[in-house]
Amino acid sequence: MNRYIWSMNGVPLSETDDIKISGKEITRITFNNLTMMHHPMHLHGHFFRVVNENGEYSPLKHTVNVAPMQEVTIEFSGNEGDEHGDWFFHCHILYHMMSGMARVVSYETPRDPRMEEHPVKHLIKEADEFYAWSTLEAASHMASFNFVASNIRNQFNISAEYGWNQNLEAEVTYERYLHDYFRVFGGVKAENEMADSMDDISTTAIAGIRFLTPYLFNLDVRIDSKLRPQISLSRELLIFPRTAIFGRYEYQADFGWADSLPFGNNYANEVTWNAGVEYFLSRDFSLMASYDNRFGAGGGLSVRF
């Protein structure tokens, strides 16, 4: 599963002010849909005119669909100052609205006193709620657990992988979105020191950046408290309607900046990679098979919840 955020002009409802308009003027808004989805834009309770080639016969509506890569202009009148109050303005695909694709259009008139129990900040809070999802994988070579809780700017992640050949990697991180796809993160990581043995578990602090790149690669660049830099790249690709392939490559370098390396070496590295295939049985269940250079090859079931 992926994070799901929508906005207008790159800014979600929770990070904007009202759009102040005057009742004595005509307000004109131009939508440019640069996304690949339709957005039926709705000015709740307030008619507007869709400005098109029909001139004065342009239709009066309160919802207009803006198709991908299309431009639509609307305008509405404040009726010489007769209109007043706040008007909610949003994409009518409700999960776009709830993830931030909304505004409040406000005539510069006093707010209706009957609206006192419904402050605008409630509306804004609703568009920045945390939501959470998890996946659990049980396979013949390993088991894994992933948990993510996210709102527009903040995300908490827990991930743990355990190979039955006694290899463990687990981390807890907090990340902060500075941009739609770019974030900084910090956290704690635990892993076994010696391959195939749980006798010695090392815990390090980690910090770095994460970026969902063009072509949807997950990039993670970090350094741990033993001053070992690491880069990893992963990607999942749907190749048939129910079948996805996935892979991950991770390279960790150790220049001996913190702990001295054995045998007078001045450089060590560790490569971790895996690749696999997943078949979606339903919304909640998948069959998976993978090879991981720590855990070996195997297959099993994964559950999303």
**Stretch binding Cu ion (CB under 5 A), from 61-69, 94-102, 172-180, 186-194:** 94-102
Nearer to Cu ion, 94 or 195 (CB): 94
Contact present, 181 and 189 (Cβ < 8 Å): no
**Stretch binding Cu ion (CB under 5 A), from 12-20, 75-83, 84-92, 107-115:** 84-92
Nearer to Cu ion, 39 or 103 (CB): 39
Nearer to Cu ion, 96 or 248 (CB): 96
As measured in angstroms, the least distance from the Cβ of 44 to Cu ion is 15
Count of residues in contact with Cu ion, rule CB under 5 A: 4
Asked whether position 39 contacts Cu ion by CB under 5 A, the answer is: yes
Nearer to Cu ion, 21 or 101 (CB): 101
As measured in angstroms, the least distance from the Cβ of 236 to Cu ion is 24
Strand order through the sheet with 48-51: 26-32, 71-77, 48-51, 60-61
Report CA dihedral (90, 96, 99, 103) to the nearest 10 degrees.
-10
Nearer to Cu ion, 68 or 186 (CB): 68
**Stretch binding Cu ion (CB under 5 A), from 32-40, 164-172, 180-188, 206-214:** 32-40
As measured in angstroms, the least distance from the Cβ of 27 to Cu ion is 21
As measured in angstroms, the least distance from the Cβ of 55 to Cu ion is 29
Half-sphere CA count of 74, side-chain side, radius 13 A:
21
Q: State the Cα–Cα distance between residues 108 and 122, nearest whole angstrom.
A: 20
Asked whether position 96 contacts Cu ion by CB under 5 A, the answer is: yes
As measured in angstroms, the least distance from the Cβ of 72 to Cu ion is 13
As measured in angstroms, the least distance from the Cβ of 74 to Cu ion is 16
Contact present, 142 and 163 (Cβ < 8 Å): yes
As measured in angstroms, the least distance from the Cβ of 8 to Cu ion is 9
Nearer to Cu ion, 100 or 163 (CB): 100
Contact present, 131 and 112 (Cβ < 8 Å): no
Nearer to Cu ion, 93 or 123 (CB): 93
**Stretch binding Cu ion (CB under 5 A), from 88-96, 142-150, 186-194, 251-259:** 88-96
Asked whether position 93 contacts Cu ion by CB under 5 A, the answer is: yes
Q: Which residue in 91, 102, 142, 152 binds Cu ion (CB under 5 A)?
A: 91
Q: State the Cα–Cα distance between residues 201 and 191, nearest whole angstrom.
A: 6
Amino acid at 256: G
CA distances from 36 to 3, 39, 41, 68, 229 (A): 17, 10, 15, 5, 37
Contact present, 286 and 279 (Cβ < 8 Å): yes
Q: Taking Cα atoms as reference points, which of 173, 150, 171 lies closest to residue 160? A: 171
The H or E element spanning position 120 is: helix 120-126
Decide: helix, strand or coil at residue 291: strand
Give the residues lining the site for Cu ion (CB under 5 A). 39, 91, 93, 96
